Amino acid sequence: MSDGEEDSDHLIFGGVDVVDLGARYGTPLYVTDEDRIRENFRSYKNTFETVDTDFYFAVKANGNLAILRILAQEGAGADVFSGGELRLVKLAGIPMDKVLFNGNSKSEEELRAAVESQVKVSVDSREELRTLSAVAVEMGGEAEIAIRVNPDVSPKVNPKIATGLRTSKFGIPYDEILQTYEEAAKLPNIVIKGIHCHIGSQILDISVFREATEKMMQLVEDLYERGIELEFVDLGGGLGIAYNKEKEIAPTPEDLAEMILPTFEAKMQALGINLKLILEPGRSIVGSASILLSKVNTVKHAHKNFVAIDAGFNLFLRPVMYDAYHEVVVANKLNEEASVLSTVVGPVCESGDIIAKDRMLPEVKRGDFVAILDTGAYGFSMSSQYNGRPRCAEVLVRDGAVDLIRSKESVEDVIRNQVVPERLR
Ligand code: LLP
> Over the stretch 285-336, which tens digit does the pLDDT of each residue have?
999 999 999 999 999 999 999 999 999 999 999 999 999 999 999 999 999 9
* Given the residues 7, 127, 302, 349, the one annotated as active site: 349
Distance 202 CA to ligand 1 centre (A): 8
The predicted structure's pLDDT at residue 13:
98
Report which of 374, 386, 382, 394 is spatially closest to residue 346, judged by C-alpha positions.
386
Distance 280 CA to ligand 1 centre (A): 9
Ligand 1: atom nearest CA of 158 is: 25
Calculate what percentage of the chain has a pLDDT beyond 90: 95
Contacts of 187 (CB under 8 A, 6+ apart): 129, 130, 133
Known catalytic residue at 349: yes
Report whether 254 contacts 48 (CB < 8 A). Answer: no
Residue 259 region by backbone torsions, left for phi larger than 0, else alpha for psi between -120 and 50, else beta? alpha
Stated as kind and residue range, the H or E segment containing 207 is helix 207-225
C-beta 282 within 6 A of ligand 1: yes
Whether pLDDT at 60 is above 60: yes
62-79, pLDDT tens digit by residue? 999 999 999 999 999 999
Distance 199 CA to ligand 1 centre (A): 9
129-172, pLDDT tens digit by residue? 999 999 999 999 999 999 999 999 988 888 888 887 888 999 99
Distance CA 48, CA 255 (A): 11
Report whether 398 contacts 70 (CB < 8 A). Answer: no
> Which runs of consecutive H residues, i.e. helices, occur in 75-190?
83-92, 108-117, 126-139, 177-186
C-beta 319 within 6 A of ligand 1: no
Distance CA 85, CA 256 (A): 26
Distance CA 217, CA 45 (A): 22
C-beta 251 within 6 A of ligand 1: no
Report which of 222, 315, 231 is spatially closest to residue 273, judged by C-alpha positions.
231
The predicted structure's pLDDT at residue 344:
98
The predicted structure's pLDDT at residue 4:
46
Ligand 1: atom nearest CA of 122 is: 3
Q: How would you classify the pairing of strands 305-309 and 290-301?
A: antiparallel
Whether pLDDT at 2 is above 50: no
- Tell me the pLDDT of the chain averaged across its residues: 96
Ligand 1: atom nearest CA of 201 is: 15
C-beta 237 within 6 A of ligand 1: yes
216-257, pLDDT tens digit by residue? 999 999 999 999 999 999 999 999 999 999 999 999 999 999
C-beta 61 within 6 A of ligand 1: yes
